[in-house]
């Protein structure tokens, strides 16, 4: 069998990153075909999470793997935060759609999320630490929100200019 075909990742400030994703009506062949491609794209880019929004497919589907060995894929379809800790912490985040940029974002330290898995089975997952942060970050993508939107307008504009410039240079090369 051939390895799954990689998907192009949208780069900030691409306006398509601000699309609000639709609920997955059924875990059908289309979704089942998309999951391995999203996982392969995430692993190829050395990411710990990828939302369908980032590959310009606007359905509520995210893939995550925060394991050291990169062998514990987690698929969340139609994720809903059931509970989020009041305790928050500011931690450094990055994003495959915002290459080379890392900055602090305040997030709940623990969450409980309900979602369908790759087989369409509903599960409730309790997460803390990096996994909790990653779930919140990826769920923001499904709402059309990129982490740089938590930063000050000044910082955000600097990042925007930097990425636009880098993209122009890449196109010229």
- Calpha distance 1→36 (Å, rounded): 13
CA distance 125 to 103: 26
Based on the shown chain and the rule CB under 5 A, indicate whether residue 35 belongs to the binding site for Ni ion. no
Interface with Ni ion, residue 95, by CB under 5 A: yes
The answer to the question of residue 74 lying near Ni ion (CB under 5 A) is: no
- Give the residue with the Cβ less far from Ni ion, 95 or 116: 95
Of 57-65, 67-75, 89-97, 152-160, which segment contacts Ni ion by CB under 5 A? 89-97
10 binds Ni ion (CB under 5 A): no
Of 4 and 99, CB closest to Ni ion: 99
CB of 107 to Ni ion, least distance (A): 13
Is 138 tagged catalytic?
A: yes
**Cβ 75 to Ni ion, closest distance in Å?**
16
Is residue 159 involved in binding Ni ion (CB under 5 A)?
no
38 makes contact with Ni ion (CB under 5 A): no
Cα atoms in the Cβ-side hemisphere of radius 13 Å centred on 144: 9
Q: Which of 138, 149, 169, 171 is catalytic?
A: 138
In the chain, beta strands by DSSP E? 49-51, 61-64, 74-84, 88-93, 103-108, 110-116, 122-128
Residue that is written with structure tokens 């990042």 in the block: 159
Q: Answer for the pair 20, 44: CB distance below 8 angstroms, yes or no.
A: no
Interaction between residue 59 and Ni ion (CB under 5 A): no
Q: What are the structure tokens assigned to 101, written together?
A: 């940029």
CB 49 within 8 A of CB 63: yes
Chain residues that interact with Ni ion, rule: CB under 5 A: 95
Positions marked active-site: 138
């Amino acid at each position: 069998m051939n390895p799954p075909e990689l998907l192009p990742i949208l780069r900030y400030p691409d306006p398509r990153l601000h699309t609000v994703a639709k609920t997955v009506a059924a875990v059908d062949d289309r979704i089942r075909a998309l999951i391995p491609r999203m996982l392969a794209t995430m692993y190829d880019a050395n990411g710990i999470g990828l939302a369908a929004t980032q590959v310009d497919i606007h359905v509520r589907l995210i893939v995550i793997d925060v394991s050291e060995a990169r062998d514990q894929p987690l698929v969340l379809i139609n994720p809903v935060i059931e509970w989020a800790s009041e305790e928050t912490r500011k931690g450094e985040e990055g994003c495959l759609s915002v290459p080379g940029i890392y900055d602090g974002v305040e997030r709940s330290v623990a969450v409980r999320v309900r979602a369908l898995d790759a087989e369409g089975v509903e599960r409730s997952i309790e997460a803390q630490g990096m996994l909790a942060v990653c779930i919140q970050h990826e769920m923001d993508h499904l709402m059309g929100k990129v982490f740089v939107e938590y930063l000050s307008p000044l910082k955000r504009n600097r990042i925007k200019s930097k990425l636009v410039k880098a993209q122009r240079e890449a196109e010229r090369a």
